[in-house]
Amino acid sequence: MDRSVRDRIADWWAGAWRWSALAAAMVAALFILLDRAGDGLLVTGTAVAALIVGVVLTMSKPLAIALMAMPALFVAQRAAIGGTDVSASDVALAAAFGSAVLLGHRPYSPELRAMLWFNLGYQFATLFTVIVNPFMQNTVEWFHAWLLISGALVVGWAVGRAGYARWAFTAMLVAGCALAAGTVIWGIIQYAGGNFGPVYPQIPWPMHKNFVGTALAFVALIAYVHPPWAGLSPRWTRLALWLLLIAIAMSQSRQAWMGLIVAAIVILVRRGGQSKVLVVLAVPAIWLAVSMVLEQLESQNRHNSMFQRLEWFREVYAYWKHSPIFGHGLRFWYVDPTLPYQPPQAELEVAASAGLVGLAGFIVMWVGFIVVLWRVDKNYGTLALAAVLSRIVQAQFDLFWAGVQTSVPFVIAGICLGAMALHRSSPADSQVAAPAAVSPRTWDSAGLR
């Protein structure tokens, strides 16, 4: 056989396996979506159309599927697949992860590899509870938890390293603003009826106040920081920020505000005293949160959220003592009727699920994440650190292993690390495309500070 022909065949085969795997993933996703046709032809038709568009665009934009998954990461509607309990966000993240692994740039940066190793350490620590407690949800959740952190980091990295940070952040901002607009509209309707309590929006779909509050908090951080290398319009992000903050305030999600406050302090410190708006807004937010807690305590209503959480903590602690070393298994509340709810606090949930071994891995993982991101160049690391740190603060007051709230901050962190790696690989081109060397004072004159 002629050598040039052999070379062409070798070149073709070098990429054919990736396209074959991608096609198989698309077929599987299509089957899953068609299986859910009973939920509405419009939803199914839209999803199938998005898949077709993603496949077509992938020919010219290799990471089109990952980019198209960005707004879908905010959809928490359930997608029952093979008896498991996953969300549409999980399905979108899995599809994006597949395209990122097959078509994304490698090798990974040292910072990303360090975070992946810390997450792998946690996965190893929780492997013991998977072995000790053999039930399906336990095994499925082990892979799911890995996807929510490492998978999200890889997806974000691939998008940022390919130079699509602006597209990804814009898609997230658009999705966040759509949810925020629905929250505000529903809140106005609710207020008009004389109900000034927390807003549980029904537009564009039903959402819990804590879900919409925490999810929008991550988008608000993108709008607030609007890193110059991402090329976002300061005027657009300024308007988006106010809309997002209004929606978060109307949701009355205390954990969302606590996460934003800590993130704002981190941004303030890393920018040398700049970026004070969110810190100023933190004062009434803290006052509101504290006053609501005190009001609930004084009411002595054993059924309000404060007393309910205290009761849950007591029950989970008593439950953990029956298996303190390896825990009762991930997602134990699906199979054990004695405690049929997810513990509403991160460390408590991990301790009950994976025992002291898993809790140690969890703490080491989070300390490692914060140390790695703190050492990253401030131009790129500030948003990444703020988003990730905001998540662990939120989880001190509510659920941690929840698809959207866990994956989105790590996708943001991955985008930041990928963009930094792109800048390192071609600094001259990166400076022309996105002014990464702009001073903090210039950032403040361009945006809302």
pLDDT by 10s per residue, the chain, length 449: 455 555 554 554 444 445 445 444 544 554 454 444 444 344 444 444 455 555 545 544 667 778 888 888 888 776 554 445 567 788 888 888 988 888 888 899 999 999 999 999 999 999 999 999 988 888 988 998 999 999 999 999 999 998 899 989 999 999 999 999 999 999 999 999 888 888 999 888 888 888 899 999 999 999 998 898 998 888 889 899 999 999 998 988 888 888 888 888 888 888 775 555 555 665 665 665 555 555 555 555 555 566 677 788 888 888 888 989 999 989 888 888 888 888 888 889 999 999 999 999 999 999 999 999 999 999 999 999 999 999 999 888 877 777 678 899 999 999 999 999 998 887 554 443 443 333 333 333 333 33
Domain extent, residue 419, equals 146-446
First CA to last CA distance, the chain: 67
Tokens of 151: 């998978």
Alpha carbon distance 39, 265 (integer Å) = 43
Among 53, 79, 104, the domain-final residue is: 104
Based on the fold, state whether residues 91 and 152 are members of the same structural domain. Answer: no
Say if residue 58 is in the same domain as residue 171: no
Select from 298, 225, 230, 290 the least CA-distant residue to 263.
225
In a domain, 50, yes or no: yes
253: its two tokens? 């999600």
Give the CA-trace dihedral at 307, 311, 317, 320, to 10 degrees: -130
| Both tokens assigned to 355 | 């025992």
Cβ atoms 165, 418 nearer than 8 A? yes
Structure-token pair, residue 68: 């198209």
What is the distance between the alpha carbons of residues 69 and 394, in angstroms, rounded to a whole number?
Answer: 24
65 in the same domain as 176: no
Q: Are 120 and 361 in contact (CB under 8 A)?
A: no
In a domain, 249, yes or no: yes
Domain count, the chain: 2
Q: State whether 98 and 168 are in the same domain.
A: no
Distance CA 98, CA 174 (A): 24
Structure tokens at 224: 């607030």
Based on the fold, state whether residues 77 and 167 are members of the same structural domain: no
- Cβ distance 204 to 179 under 8 Å? yes
Q: Is residue 121 part of a domain?
A: no
In a domain, 117, yes or no: no
Amino acid at 87: S
**Dist CA 270 CA 250 (whole Å):** 29
What's the gap between Cα 168 and its chain centre? 13
One domain, residues 180 and 39? no
How far apart are alpha carbons 231 and 422 in whole angstroms? 14
- Residue 388: both structure tokens together: 């990730």
H helices of 59-109, in order, are 64-72, 88-103
Number of CB atoms found within 10 A of residue 364's CB: 14
The pTM for the full model equals 0.80
27 in a structural domain = yes
The residue to which tokens 């989105």 are assigned: 408
